[in-house]
Chains A and B, each alone.
Chain A
């Protein structure tokens, strides 16, 4: 099995997290992680990034726009 380099692994992280790698590539990914702290950390950073984006909240809706939507509801009922 051909080994995986770090610069190859970093491009496959999203596919890895989606469970979308073929079995051979996934095995090379997992084997690489076993003895590369840098890539294990990179994967951790990526997971933290996804979690951080998941914490972004939108601003409150502009009150004027909200009122327009609620008025539309009244008009159409």
Chain B
């Protein structure tokens, strides 16, 4: 009998049980939307409780491998789950109006959100390349469907199709990388790969290195690192507004969570090789993301390209290897909360299931909806890396790690891009507060309806961005403080 530790997979089990419960209750009882809300809330609570239990187990010196070495319970896995749970709760609140509007297909939408969260959580806990792939597919396939869940929207169909095709392509590259790594080392388990590389001096490591590169490329697609980012703007623009924040944040957290395990554990021996590779991808992402974001006329496309740049900043920190893990976690946690907050404001502007959101719609938002405009402005300022916000501390840690790791040129590229990025982040702020909105032929001061769920997301996101920006202590060094 293989070693089974139910605790090490408990959060995912709770979420999947919740998804099953939502579907079954829906077909047998045909309940009103709020019943789905209760079940979802119960699933999130149970998952949260399991994460707390995991953290206690870790504090008591427990954890380690289970399920035949496929899953690991370490501080990184537990912390990533906590981040994803927060993202999922915020994303569900943000998407609730859109989901409730799906009518009889609402249960499908809710359960897809739950399953996607479970899949990406599993990515953070997997230490076997096969398991990483399965987790990746669980999460990604749910997201492909979510992108096109509003059937009346042609833009949503286009987004889902593009996301599916490029995502499947990325998955194929990833699994091919896994196959080559297996061919070179004889193992798919990351700890076995690490042991093999430590025990044997590989005379011709070409196969292993190519496999490693393909694994990085496959994950690069998921985290929208350049030059593998081309799907992101179209998908963010076309998918229903409510779920875009969740899609973007969850995929990014899941992708980085897996990449950290793959590179920091499995291929730690080849850090010299992958650091250089990551540095090139990071520089490309930062520069391309920033430059392309400047030319956008749609807020969602702008946020997509800014996400490319942020993937670049995260990769900048990753070049330093294991010491950067704490900073990565901080950046992932705070950036995903910012991102969901920004997309909550986008949802308020373009409607729960809307596609596209041109800059013109944001003219005069400061008067139409002070809360949405204020939070959107705050997240823009935080994303640009202004001090007293979490964006500054996250970016600072990434640059500090890269500098210590000897990638001074990368830090300089990142700093230059950060300065250029102020232009497009602040352009939106200026548009919201200092440009009147009468060109659209509607009342410029007509208040924008702000559903209470979206208001919560906005306020939470703003609070996290400010509080941890001024007082980052509780979130810093979480991994070493178990």
On whether the two chains bind one another, the answer is: no
